[in-house]
Chains A and B, each alone.
Chain A
Amino acid sequence: MGITNKKKLGFTLIELILAMSVFAVTLPVVFGLFFLNLQTRTKVLILQQVKRNGDDALAIIDGMVHTRGYSIYSDQAMTIEVCSTISGSSTPTSSQTVYFKDPAGTQFYFALDNGKIASYSASMSPNPAYLTNSKVEVSSFSISCERSATFSPPLVSISFVVSQLGSPVRHEERASLNYQTKTKLQNYQ
């Protein structure tokens, strides 16, 4: 009787092994799901930052060039006017900066400054206004112009790529979006 009583107390080794193996299977699943959740949330946050910065920057550049652009120059001293005559190819061809003059004669231009799009305007302080924040990096930034017909104002092409800061190894932390559009100078002389 003593032996049978002792046998009924507690768990047997088999029962313990079974219980532990159930835990060993289920716990990693729960933690794995949790980790996957965190990864996806990080990705969405980064993507959202990249998209917001890119959308804003393109809208601002497009709007400013379209409404305020009056004539275009290839040098900061504003002596060499470009895209005033008809040419098949776009000017400048490289990633050179183009300078715009607004109807009041004020200069403004956009350039890449340490991975951020900087907007310079002579009517404001000499410090640029940044169109993207420090959480993203802009590359392949290019503004060029071309003119195809005399009755039509110059066409300005804007294009750039917005990516997350740095170069993470894991693809969940990478996000890169392309932006490109063309706009005409509304106020062309």
Chain B
Amino acid sequence: MRKSGFSMVEVLIFTALFSLIFVGITTAMTTALRNTKSSERRILATHFAQELKDWLKGQKEADFGSFPKSGTYCFNTSPITTWGPNDNCSGAYTLGTAPNAIFKRYVVFSNGSSTQVNVNATVEWMELSVVNSVPLNTQFTVWE
């Protein structure tokens, strides 16, 4: 009679082990998923920062005289076709293609002179209500 069926303790141990393993697997998978998603966004953000830098370099090569020497510009479109509005995108995370239209991108120019300017480009996005950012700082110089 004792050998037929499980005792309460056996069932409890099984349930405890099963739930521990289940919670473990789920946590591992969720963490892996979050990390993979995070690196995908970081790859995209790095590309957007580089894209802006390449475009700005082109503008600088074309005409440094009219190139901005100070101020902030927002570039929430890709590919970049023209200068964006004079702000840091004011919280509009619209850069990128769905479902990754979650970025904002802006550039700040400082210490400008007739031959050089400091360029601080930033791509930002929200992840679990934390702001992540990829900064890209450089200095443009003309040698002519």
A residues near B, CB below 8 A? 5, 8-10, 26, 29-30, 33-34, 36-37, 40-41, 43-44, 47-48, 51, 54-55, 58, 148, 151-152, 155, 157, 159, 171, 176-184
Q: Which of A44, A179, A183 contacts B61 (CB 8 A)?
A: A183
- In the assembled complex, which residues on chain B have CB atoms less than 8 Å from the CB atom of A159? 79
Name the one of B4, B51, B63 contacting A178, with C-beta atoms under 8 angstroms: B51
Is B80's CB under 8 angstroms from A180's CB?
Answer: yes
B55 within 8 A of A: yes
Asked if B12 is an interface residue, CB under 8 A from chain A, the answer is no
B29 at the interface (CB under 8 A from A): yes
Q: Chain B residues in contact with chain A, CB under 8 A?
A: 1, 4-5, 22, 25-26, 29-30, 32-33, 36-37, 39-40, 43-44, 46-47, 50-51, 54-55, 57-59, 61-63, 78-80, 97, 99, 144
B62 touches A181 (CB 8 A): no
Residues from chain A with Cβ under 8 Å of B40 in the complex: 40, 43-44, 47
> In the complex, what residues of A have CB within 8 A of residue B30's CB?
33
What B residues does A9 contact at CB under 8 A?
A: 4-5
B79 touches A178 (CB 8 A): yes
> Are the C-beta atoms of B33 and A178 separated by less than 8 Å?
no
CB distance from A113 to the nearest CB of B (A): 23
In whole Å, how far is A52's beta carbon from the nearest beta carbon of chain B?
A: 10
User: Quick one: closest A residue to B51, CB to CB?
Assistant: A178
A145: min CB distance to chain B, Å: 12
Of B33, B78, B99, the most chain A CB neighbours within 10 A belong to B33
How far apart sit A178 and B47, CA to CA, in the bound complex (Å)?
9
The complex places the Cα of A177 from the Cα of B48 at a distance, in Å, of 9
Q: Are A37 and B43 in contact (CB under 8 A)?
A: no
Q: How far is the CA of A64 from the CA of B116 in the complex (A)?
A: 24
Please tell me if the beta carbons of A181 and B26 are within 8 angstroms of each other in the complex.
Answer: no
Q: Closest chain B residue to A161 by CB distance?
A: B79
| Distance in angstroms between the alpha carbons of A152 and B44 in the assembled complex | 35
Q: Which residue of chain B is the closest to A34 with respect to CB atoms?
A: B29
- Beyond known contacts A155-B61, A180-B51, A181-B58: 12 more, CB 8 A cutoff: A5-B1, A9-B4, A33-B26, A47-B43, A51-B43, A51-B46, A54-B47, A58-B54, A179-B54, A180-B79, A182-B61, A184-B61
